[in-house]
Amino acid sequence: MSAASGVRQHTARDLQAYGRRYGIDYWVPDLGARDEDPVVRGKVHELSLGQGMELVASDVEVLHRYDSRSRAASPLSIVVMLEGRADVSLEDRTLTLTPGMALSLRLDGHHGLQATQPAGQRLRALTLGLGEDRLAELGTTLPSASGSRMHAWRPPSALLQGLEQALATPLPAPAQTLLLEGLGLQLLAHGLPQATHDAASSDATPPTRLPPRERQRLERVRAALEDDPAAEHRLESLAKLAAMSPASLRRKFRAAFGTSVFDYLRDCRLRLAHDYLSRGSSVQQAAHFCGYRHASNFATAFRRRYGISPSSLTMAS
């Protein structure tokens, strides 16, 4: 392991220093020139693993929206979103990265990945980077076509649960490094461009560029789900909000955000429940507050999403 930071506030100046190390430009639209104001608060771990892999794990609260654009070439990077969301674009392709989604990226240094992280959310994400020499040593070859490219896909649920558990309940340092190295190799195996192309699931909808007005109407639906996840949302009422048919809403929501309407709603509810549990609510209370009628159904969904039982959070708090 290399650098690891505890819970702390990261300013715009901190982001710029991080960007110089990784070839990323950061800017915070609503801070102006106040480089000392906190932008995010939480933990960022930078890990050097075996097999030439570099892993960055972030668990932060986004206090101010910030934007970024990569400017360095990268033979292969894999980004996994565990919690929160980010709007990303590469050349003419755009999508919203939501929990349980991953991106495999090849960047040529000329066409950078642009990303926007909205304020007011908890953001937990992993970025795995691997150099071309190490890829060759592993017997892996990437497509020879030049240019930047990205591919959205969904890691197997068992792998997501393994990542969640490794971050939530870390082992002692030597064992934790070995565990993360193994999980990193699994991410690599599933996230290679040819693997995600050949074995992409129906859930991994390719990024789609929608007209701005359609995107705005879909954003209204997403805002309704995030603002009141405990409500009994119905597809018909959400479709009216988006001024489109239910079938169009299903199709275009998945195209824009990489997940279905009600999978997105479930993630909103479980994030809300996670916050309640972390603040000391009981499992029954958290289930009720986030819209579940039965605590047993809630516990099953929570375990599938986070890889741990909700009661383990109440015991920890």
Domain map (residue ranges) of the chain: 8-198, 212-316
Round to whole Å and give the CA distance between 10 and 4.
13
Token output for 194: 């040819």
List Cβ<8 Å contacts ≥24 apart for 14-22.
Answer: 14/39, 15/39, 15/40, 15/66, 18/44, 19/68, 22/70, 22/72
What is the structure's pLDDT at 146? 54
pLDDT for the residue 16 = 86
Distance CA 44, CA 57 (A): 6
* Interatomic CA distance for residues 273 and 286, integer angstroms: 5
Look at residue 110 in the predicted model and tell me its pLDDT: 78
Q: Which superfamily, per CATH, for 212-316?
A: Homeodomain-like (1.10.10.60)
CATH fold match for the domains 8-198 and 212-316: no
Structure tokens given for 91: 């050349």
| pLDDT value, residue 208 | 54
E strand residue ranges, the chain: 8-11, 24-27, 38-48, 53-62, 66-70, 74-83, 86-90, 93-97, 102-107, 114-117, 121-130, 149-153
Which pLDDT score, from 0 to 100, does residue 15 have? 87
pLDDT at 200: 43
Alpha-carbon distance of 220 to 197, in angstroms, equals 32
- Summarize pLDDT for 146-188 with one digit per residue, the tens: 566 888 888 888 898 889 888 888 888 888 888 988 998 899 8
Rounded distance, CA 15 to CA 295, Å?
Answer: 41
pLDDT at 33: 53
Question: Backbone phi, then psi, for 244, in 5-degree steps?
Answer: -150, 170
The secondary structure of residue 4, as a DSSP letter, is B
Q: What pLDDT does residue 151 have?
A: 85
The residue ranges of the chain whose pLDDT is under 50 are 1-4, 143-145, 195-207
| Neighbouring C-beta atoms of residue 67, cutoff 10 Å | 14
Determine the pLDDT at residue 32.
62
User: CATH number of the domain at 8-198, please?
Assistant: 2.60.120.10
